[in-house]
Structure 1
Amino acid sequence: MTIAQIGEQAALAYGALYAEAMTRQLVVNGPPLFVAQSMPRDAHTEFELDFCLPVASDEPPALPALRCVRLMYEGPLAKLFTDGYQALLQAMAAAGLRASGESREIYHAWRGPESADNRIEIQIGIAHA
């Protein structure tokens, strides 16, 4: 999908994930998260994005640990890339770190795309040296 398609697709995906969790009587035990592979730097390039919903389970976690740098972004989605991703990527470059291609967003608080009260944790994977 493209960055422009995320909002619509996320609403559909999370509606289905929450419904499936209820059907299976699973306990949601964490905030929704997006996992991207090779996220583009523009709004028109397609990339792979998985929508994840943590649930309590006796099984090992399906999402592996990620060696990453992270930043807690607070604010509207319109500034997520300029005030969030761009700042984090610049800090990585200054530290001599390279991105692995995987990034994650954890939605700790979601009040809507325009809200200044959103709290989104951005994680960018670090490539092995």
Structure 2
Amino acid sequence: MEIKETPEMWVVRCGQRLRIPDVRQAAAEYSALITTQIIAHGLEADGPWIFISHNLPRDSKSLFDWQICRPIRKPVHWDETIELHHLEPIIVASRVHQGSLRSLFTKGYAPLVAEIEMSRHHFSGESREIYHGWNGHGSSYHNIEIQFGLSR
């Protein structure tokens, strides 16, 4: 577990309230929409895809708030037909998962949650997945950074 501050960034984002099994379809739809918006508005992507969750459940049936974000270089001027969002830095507990999506929760999330629960830190309710290396659905290897926001 690494405790660190996330960088400040500007993003284009979309989101909805959904269940964990719904993330795959929503990510496919929204990533295409965000990519189209970035190109149409002459913006420049500046970092890997980020999924932000609020109150991520420990089961596959409960709803939670989810967003997909693409960091961009903040333009000097942009038209108001695209909504840009500013993400402030936050303190997180972080762990990198290298492997399949199938093992993301058991080998990525579970050990990090256990470490946080045994520490003096408290969850803020926000969590993030940063897709440093995405090799497509069905791939046996991805490089995904898991972050849990800390309230103290």
Picking from 67, 70, 78, the partner of 2:94 is: 70
Quick check: 1:31 aligned with 2:31?
Answer: no
1:36-115 aligned at under 5 Å gives the runs 36-58=53-75, 62-115=86-139
Q: Determine what percentage of the aligned residue pairs are the same residue.
A: 30
Flag structure 1 segments of 5+ consecutive residues without an equivalent.
none
Deviation at 1:97, TM superposition (A): 1.7
Count the aligned residue pairs.
128
SS at match of 2:27: helix
5+ long unaligned stretches in structure 2:
1-17, 77-83
Q: Any conservation in 2 of the 1:39–1:101 contact (CA below 8 Å)? A: yes
**Alpha-carbon displacement from aligned partner over 1:72-112 (angstroms, at most 9, x marks no partner):** 10111111111111100111112132211000000001112
Checking the alignment, whether the CA contact within 8 Å between 2:44 and 2:72 is kept in structure 1 is yes
8 Å CA contact 1:78, 1:114 repeated in 2: no
Deviations 1:56-84 (A, max 9, x none): 11469711112110001011111111111
Distance in 2 (alpha carbons) for counterparts of 1:5 and 1:61: 24
**Misfit runs of 4+, over 6 Å:** none
Q: What secondary structure is seen at the aligned counterpart in 2 of 1:62? A: strand
The CA RMSD measured in Å over matched residues stands at 1.5
Q: 2:85, 2:64 → 1: CA distance?
A: 24
Counterpart of 1:26, as a letter, is L
SS in 2 for 1:103: strand
SS in 2 for 1:83: helix
Residue 120 of structure 1 corresponds to 144
Alignment partners' CA distance in 1, 2:140 and 2:96 = 13
Which amino acid in structure 1 is aligned with residue 65 of structure 2?
Answer: E
Q: CA deviation at 1:114?
A: 2.9
Q: More relative contact order in 1 or in 2 (CA 8 Å, sep 6+)?
A: 2
Task: Identify, as 1 or 2, the structure richer in helix.
Answer: 1
Of 75-84 and 16-25, more deviation after overlay is shown by 75-84
| Distance in structure 2 (CA, Å) of the matches to 1:77 and 1:117 | 8
Structure-1-length-normalised TM-score: 0.93
Indicate the structure with greater strand content. 2
